Amino acid sequence: MLSKEDNEFISRVGPGTPMGNLMRQYWIPAMLSSELPGPDCDPVRVMLLGEKLIGFRDSMGRVGLIQNHCPHRGASLFFGRNSECGLRCVYHGWQFDVEGRCIDMPNEPPESDFKNKVKAVAYPCVERGGLVWTYMGPRETPPPLPDIEVNMLPEGEYVIIPSYVESNWLQAVEGEIDTSHTGFLHFGAIQPEDVQEGTFLHYTVKDRAPRYSVVDTDYGAMYGAYRPAKPGYVYWRIAHFNFPFYTQPPEGVLGHSVIMNAWVPMDDTHTMSFVMLRKDKMESGRPSRLPIQGNSEKYPDMQVPMLPRTTDWFGRFRPAVNADNDYLIDRELQRQPDSYSGIRYLASQDRAMQESMGGIYDRTQERLASSDVMVIRVRRRLLAAARALAEQQIVPPGVDHPEVYRNRSGGVLLPEGADWIEDTKELRKAFVEHPEVAAQLPQP
């Protein structure tokens, strides 16, 4: 468990906090490119790291992310007129470009040069792989974007699933790197005889208490969760935590699966999730993270229905299955052998657990076990990196080395006694195709 001081330190991400300062060293996924569908489209409210910002696309198609309050008298630029290569405050007509420069001040005399002395806070933005990335850090020249494989694929070869999570960002990250919950929360109702022998799912439900090996990496941390497989083999689930808030879950087959999940802090108690998948990981419109053998009624869809979008700070990508309706838990279904949680959607099952902890869970109350070894390691890495930055100005892992993000995750069978790190080195490399692995598909 964490001390009260460390829990506050690691959870808070607002301006001036050590963890917020750490995250500002990196490029941050701010929104989908499709949220700003064309030049001079409607502005969008965006909450990032506790800052209220306004996203807009100017007449030339460039994306800007600017402070909410007009520098003049504080009216919200959300109500601004987006035209003529800038966002114009409707209170007095002051207009700002994507770099925050005041380019027009029509309520001042023509001879006034005051507009040249006024600048709004604006963060540089670039678009790649369907995402708008922004840099909120102190450098005049930002670092390179991370080499996230799925975010570097050509248009049409990737899928992004955004979702709002009403909890602290770290609760979402820790839910993703906690692999032992899969055999209970998601597949607790499935018995080994329900699924085909020799599949990853069969091994998972046959032994729901895997052992773990965890190592530090130059991008964060990696774990291998292992359990017995067919005679002479061990089933390994290999996954990653990447600084500052990315996870690569062990879904699909190692060497083929291309996935990255971003858990972007909106503020201390709200998170925006961007699940990025290579498109060939989708089957019939569903992510292949779902098992495909056995009784299909036990394997609900992942994509949760969304509520109508609103324009408030937390109105983007809100799941219709949420705390207000108890995640539509069906107690009768829960009593039946076909469901463990009684909650239909896999993503809703995760969200129910993470959000039920509260906005920021009091981790001084935890009683961690051996299955939490990856959670413990990631906390230590985050705390150490944030303190090293705050106290010694040491640049956090991965900021200046985009290549360290070139990893893949997934499941693999290895002979008993194999060196899981050395023997999966090639399969974990991004941007490398493995026809011998693809020939094994489909696998759960």
In tens, the pLDDT along 197-211 reads: 989 999 999 999 999
**Pairing mode, strands 63-67 and 51-57:** antiparallel
The residues, any chain, with a CB within 8 Å of residue 17's CB and separated by 6 or more, are none
31 class by beta-carbon count within 10 Å (0-12 exposed, 13-18 middle, 19+ buried): buried
The per-residue pLDDT of the chain, averaged, comes to 93
pLDDT at 217 over 90: yes
Residue with tokens 């506050």: 8
- State how far the Cα of 290 lies from the Cα of 274, in Å rounded to an integer: 18
Nearest-angstrom CA–CA distance, 329 and 212: 32
Percentage of residues in the chain having pLDDT higher than 90? 88
Pairing of strands 233-242, 220-228: antiparallel
More confident call, 442 vs 281: 281
* Closest CA relative to residue 245, chosen from 43, 442, 48: 48
pTM of the predicted model as reported, rounded to 2 decimal places: 0.93
In the numeric block, the tokens 């009683």 are attached to 367
Tens-digit pLDDT profile for residues 99-118: 999 999 999 999 999 999 99
| Count of beta carbons in the 10 Å neighbourhood of residue 349 | 23
**What is the rounded CA–CA span in Å between residue 96 and residue 89?**
8
Residues 6+ apart with CB under 8 A from 198: 230
Which H, E and C letters describe the chain, residue by residue?
CCCHHHHHHHHCCCCCCHHHHHHCCCEEEEEEHHHCCCCCCCCEEEEECCEEEEEEECCCCCEEEEECECCCCCCEHHHCEEECCEEECCCCCCEECCCCEEEECCCCCCCCCHHHHCECCEECEEEECCEEEEECCCCCCCCCCCCCHHHHCCCCCEEEEEEEECCCHHHHHHHHHCHHHHHHHHCCCCCHHHCCCCCHHHHHHHCCCCEEEEEECCCEEEEEEEEECCCCEEEEEEEEEECCCEEECCCCECCCCCEEEEEEEEECCEEEEEEEEEHHHEECCEECCCCCCCCHHHCCCCCCCECCCCCCCCCCCCECCCHHHHHHCCHHHHHCCCCCCCCCCHHHHHHHHHHHCCCCCCHHHCCCCHHHHHHHHHHHHHHHHHHHHHHHCCCCCCCCCHHHHCECCEEEEEECCCCHHHHCCCCCECCCCCHHHHCCCCCC
- Provide the pLDDT confidence category of residue 338 given band limits of 50, 70 and 90: confident
Half-sphere exposure of 302 (CA within 13 A, CB side): 19
Task: Look at 31-40, 97-106, 167-176, 302-311 and tell me which has the smallest mean pLDDT.
Answer: 302-311
Identify the pLDDT of residue 280: 76
pLDDT digits (tens, 9 = 90+) for 374-423: 999 999 999 999 999 999 999 999 999 999 999 999 999 999 999 999 99
Residue 25, pLDDT score: 98
Instruction: Kindly state the average pLDDT of the residues 71-79.
Output: 98
Asked whether the beta carbons of 177 and 364 are under 8 A apart, the reply is: no
Average pLDDT rounded to a whole number, residues 265-287: 79
Specify the pLDDT at position 436: 81
CA distance 315 to 300: 26
Q: What is the Cα–Cα distance from 431 to 444, expressed in whole angstroms?
A: 22
Stated length of the chain: 444
Query: What whole-number distance in Å separates Cα of residue 201 and Cα of residue 293?
Result: 9
Domain boundaries, the chain: 27-142, 151-438
* DSSP-derived pairing of the beta strands 131-135 and 86-88: unpaired
**pLDDT tens-place string over residues 277-320:** 998 754 433 333 333 222 334 434 456 899 999 999 999 999 99
Distance of CA 79 to the CA centre of its chain: 29
Contact (CB, 8 A) for 5 and 14: no
pLDDT, average across residues 331-351 = 92
Distance CA 385, CA 432 (A): 30
**Residues 27-142, CATH architecture:** 3-layer Sandwich (2.102)
